[in-house]
Structure 1
């Protein structure tokens, strides 16, 4: 089966053949040599269908991301490792929730941010906002070396000086593709650059090298540990945040993770886990509190843009039995089944897309793409503005 046959099959199965011709043509760029990508896309389309998403609400921007970028960021592109992707401002709304939540009753202010990524932007932002908390960031991919090339693209390398991960200075589809068109060559280039920079002791400007770079971020309130779920030893915490991690694992692992989280929490402490993207768009999370030694579910919430997102985090996961994703799809479907709400939502949201020129509907009613020269930072700033406007207009409360 070639790529076009695969897309046509999914179109017929999940959208009754109603996806637009431009969308299907764009999806034809999926790499045929990556069965993990094909499986991911099929799972994503299944989630779209289960949430009640119609074909006209899947945008050409999403087709571009799925077809050209997805293969570059899945673990299959990184020798099975979860890439430590991090985006500044990603957890801003989550930080606000932590500061004002009414569930925590442990009495302390110690937080474990597990899966913090590198560089640990969101952990540092949390420490700035929650300025009376002590925060420990943990990630299995914290590097021994961090290097920047002359263009500001960076790579992390392990103690054996092997490339673990790399990322463009501005993570657009085009810049990612420049680095990943030949990932083996890019890895080798960074490894050679490391050898050169170590000989010259270049530690400022571009290019440069930083040795054991995570230590430069530590303060009396911020510390870091190398390791993931079940791999670290830490004193009991009052709050554990685990975002954009568990959707890489199946339901069985998640159950074991919940048991481990319970062991790491003080009585009355809370667990906050879920997913999100830039400027807290496509945000969803569960809240558990430790009561009598057990985790007890207290709340599930998600941002209103999940019903019609710009990105793909809403459907992003590696296992079809991922319980949190199934819960999110069920909630979205219930909202979408309310015709009066959706008519009001579309009237408001489609006008937003047209006003900001972000994936506006074409003459046939399909969501389109963005201007080719629009930078990611501009895109997500506008998407965040639109989410704020949706909330200010009361759509989050109406949905609830």
Structure 2
């Protein structure tokens, strides 16, 4: 595939600031529905007290996310990225809206039927996450590192914003009749709106930014076929090369070669999220005991994690704080595992102040190390290879989340009435 019209160098192109903002919003939309589910966990614990909602729903979400992501990563070079991302945001929007419909249809009642329905829509979240997160990260991997950083900051912002809104709605509706349910409906309605907004933004605005058109056209000139539909939507005509033309120019590393060359980065992401998801959110809801904050305690812990996770994703923008050494990243990531005994003993013997500190540190290291890995890994490759590597790294990240969610159940060993 060859670009027909030329382009300026990226330093002279307009739209960088707009693209950074859009990437942030797209990241926000990629997780706002799921983070809303986590943040309104107290409502689901009230409806389904015996079903361990935060753990079960996370465990439902992840197999669909990782299974779908594995298929998409394997076939990424053949997939129309534009259709992939549009479908993902549409599925997020539709599934979130259907959670509202389900709650209204059942009048907010508990029971196994409504819980199975919620699990079904959460599974759709997992599929949508794989479509969107892998597709967007792959797309941004051949653009500027600031775009990836902004996208991952938006992911964290969805957690911070939903946590803040949850504290506000709890204060507003705490004394009201059906206050938990009213807050939940408000959350899901806001999430539905943002998913629809992201769908429009990605479909009509993002492809037409000059700097985005430049990088997609550059990737096309290096042999990428995944960007063709986005270029056409932006008004850039492309044509397929004749067989044999510039064959050497379009040679690229296979997915296996890319994985082997970046296996340490993949392991980095896996280990970051194994640790994080083995603690967050299940441990924070069920294993931290009762403290002075009462029912506010798990919400404060979730909010503390999300706020520091968001702040930390901007720290790599400060050059001396960014970890670029591959060995340094691995050492820092392995060092985080001292948090496992720290959380155990703090939950058993410490007070709520120490737990809030530990949760904040968990969020701080999670976001900072994620951005360091995701911005460093794609450097030095051609556009099609960077897109493939972005998908591979997201697969490693989701694998870590899935393993962490499974390990989170180990905290229930020895706990009375755990099952």
TM-score (norm 1): 0.26
Q: Which has more strand, going by share of residues?
A: 1
